[in-house]
């Protein structure tokens, strides 16, 4: 019998066919903001709707490695419950663009971890990665896309419930809220203001963290600037 061992190593993924994992530049030009998904707003703020170009959610990757070995709270054999193998498979599928397969493996991971009472704070990034996949699947304006964004929001909130220090999850929540606000009309300015303020609050939480996640901090600062500009122009 032994404690479950989860090897958690945050790293960047730069595969061309995959989500950008925290791959935001420190200085975002207009073109870079479009590339990395920072919110772009129309100059005509009087429409009271939030506009964006392609927005990509920051995604965290936990890969197996020799560092950051964490012991769980329940005893069982790693031969019986190979969590590292399940997670590694999910990451590979995600990197290759197989979101459906990756979701299946992440959900399998969560089911096994929850069944054996593993401390949820040890795998909060799994919720964050799951949320990022839902967010990518929720880019449209149809009902299915809206449902995916709801799932993404819930999964990011679940990640933050167990690991409030995940700056990328706070920024991603801000992006999701701004995406929701995009659908609001010109006669819903009170709702628009609330969305903007909620998104700003999420960015502030990301900036208030004592960590070295400079990429999330950079995007949070940029979003706050855009949000403040919009709030000033909304009467």
User: Domains of the chain: which residue ranges?
Assistant: 3-233
Q: Which residues pair with 11 in a beta bridge?
A: 61
Separation of alpha carbons 59 and 13, rounded Å:
9
70, with CB counted inside 10 A (0-12, 13-18, 19+), is: middle
Topology adopted by domain 3-233? 1.25.40
| pLDDT tens sequence for the chain (235 residues) | 222 323 222 222 222 222 233 222 222 233 333 333 332 222 222 223 333 333 344 444 433 333 322 223 333 344 445 788 898 899 899 989 999 999 999 999 999 998 888 899 889 999 999 999 999 988 888 889 889 999 999 999 999 999 999 999 999 999 999 988 887 777 788 888 999 999 999 999 999 998 778 889 999 999 999 999 988 888 6
Q: How far does CA 67 lie from the centroid of its chain?
A: 23
Tokens standing for residue 13: 């993924």
The model carries a pTM of 0.66
Kind plus residue range of the DSSP H or E element containing 210: none
DSSP 41-84: --S-GGG-----S-------EE---SSSEEEEEEE--TTT--HH
End-to-end CA distance of the chain: 64
Tokens standing for residue 93: 């599928």
């Amino acid at each position: 019998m032994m404690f479950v061992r989860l090897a958690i190593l945050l790293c960047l993924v730069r595969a061309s066919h995959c989500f950008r994992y925290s791959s935001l530049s420190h200085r975002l030009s207009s073109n870079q903001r479009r590339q990395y998904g920072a919110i772009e707003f129309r100059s005509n703020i009087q429409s009271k709707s939030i506009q964006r170009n392609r927005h990509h959610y920051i995604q965290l990757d936990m890969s197996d490695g020799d560092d950051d070995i964490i012991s769980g709270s329940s005893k069982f054999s790693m031969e019986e419950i190979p969590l590292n193998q399940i997670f590694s498979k999910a990451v590979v599928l995600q990197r290759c663009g197989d979101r459906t397969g990756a979701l299946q493996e992440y959900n399998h991971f969560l089911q096994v971890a929850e069944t054996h009472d593993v401390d949820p704070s040890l795998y909060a990034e799994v919720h964050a990665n799951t949320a990022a996949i839902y967010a990518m699947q929720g880019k449209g304006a149809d009902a299915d896309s809206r449902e995916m964004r709801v799932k993404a929001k819930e999964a990011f909130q679940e990640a933050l419930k167990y690991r409030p220090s995940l700056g990328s999850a706070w920024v991603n929540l801000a992006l999701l809220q701004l995406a929701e606000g995009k659908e609001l009309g010109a006669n819903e300015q009170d709702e628009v203001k609330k969305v903007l303020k909620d998104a700003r609050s999420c960015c502030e939480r990301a900036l208030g963290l004592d960590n070295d996640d400079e990429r999330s901090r950079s995007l949070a600062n940029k979003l706050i600037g855009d949000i403040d500009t919009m709030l000033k122009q909304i009467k």
